[in-house]
A and B are shown apart, each in its own frame.
Chain A
Amino acid sequence: AQTVTQSQPEMSVQEAETVTLSCTYDTSESDYYLFWYKQPPSRQMILVIRQEAYKQQNATENRFSVNFQKAAKSFSLKISDSQLGDAAMYFCAYLYNNNDMRFGAGTRLTVKP
């Protein structure tokens, strides 16, 4: 079974600084999707960024970028120029074909002014 591990329950970053959230996963598949979702205190889950496993290029969305290491099964999220509004719970997720989406346990990010 596919598993997703987020080893950092909590992270903290100073406003305007850069922070990296870690995620590793376990799979025997070669073609799959990886996602980072953000869940602010308002509780709505928002898709931050997606990565298709067959693409070698790392995905970027404005201040958010990923470091996708397929062989190492690692998928970290880098947030540049952190803003107060980035404070949230971040979930890493894995999706293969029509199976369930697997979520990591989450990392709570605090942004200090």
Chain B
Amino acid sequence: DTEVTQTPKHLVMGMTNKKSLKCEQHMGHRAMYWYKQKAKKPPELMFVYSYEKLSINESVPSRFSPECPNSSLLNLHLHALQPEDSALYLCASSQEVAGVRHEQFFGPGTRLTVL
């Protein structure tokens, strides 16, 4: 299995809603990532998990809350979002061996619209 899967594919939510994005991989990768991507722009790193521990938080607002329940799953909990948070949210994973991370494999993304 060489896939990273993400659900849902599309999500529309109001500014008062609480929702979660899910990501799953079964490649045995120990590093997992959340990115935000606006149209025609490169992905922007949000969070990195290494061996289920939060390794990097790129000064992301607290209305985004990541969670890594186990080595295969990564969630992104959303609460009180703003319309400018509308974007494609990408999950990725990579091997990490002896502190060295390798190429990342991306999921198809969740297209989020905040009304």
- Contact: B42 with A44, CB < 8 Å? no
**Are B103 and A44 closer than 8 Å at their CB atoms?**
no
In-complex Cβ contact of B56 among A44, A46, A100, A105 (8 A): A100
Is A11 in contact with chain B by the CB < 8 A criterion?
no
A101 CB contact (under 8 Å) in B104, B109, B111: B104
Pair A97/B100 contact, Cβ less than 8 Å: yes
How many residue pairs between the two chains, A and B, have CB atoms under 8 Å in the bound complex? 51
Q: Which residue of B lies closest to A6 (CB)?
A: B42
Extra 15 A-B pairs, beta carbons < 8 Å, given A47-B104, A95-B101: A37-B106, A43-B109, A44-B108, A45-B92, A45-B106, A89-B40, A91-B42, A95-B102, A97-B100, A100-B45, A100-B48, A100-B58, A103-B43, A105-B42, A106-B41
B75-115 residues with Cβ-Cβ distance < 8 A to A are 88, 90, 92, 96, 99-109, 111
Q: For the complex, give the distance between the alpha carbons of A52 and B106 in Å.
A: 20
Q: Which residues of B contact A56 (CB under 8 A)?
A: none
The count of chain B contact residues (Cβ–Cβ below 8 Å) is 26
Q: Which residues of the other chain, A, contact B100 by a CB distance below 8 angstroms?
A: 97-98
Contact with B along A83-113 (1 / 0, CB 8 A): 0000001010001011011011110100000
3 shortest A-B CB distances, which residue pairs? A103-B42, A45-B106, A44-B108
5 contacts between A and B (CB under 8 A): A44-B106, A44-B107, A45-B90, A95-B102, A98-B99
Q: Which residue of A lies closest to B108 (CB)?
A: A44
Q: Which residues of A lie under 8 Å from residue B107 when comparing CB positions?
A: 44
Q: Which of A50, A104, A106 has a CB less than 8 Å from the CB of B40?
A: A106
> Of all chain B residues, which has the CB nearest A45?
B106
Name the residue on B nearest A34 (C-beta). Answer: B103
Whether B99 pairs with A97 at a CB distance below 8 angstroms is yes
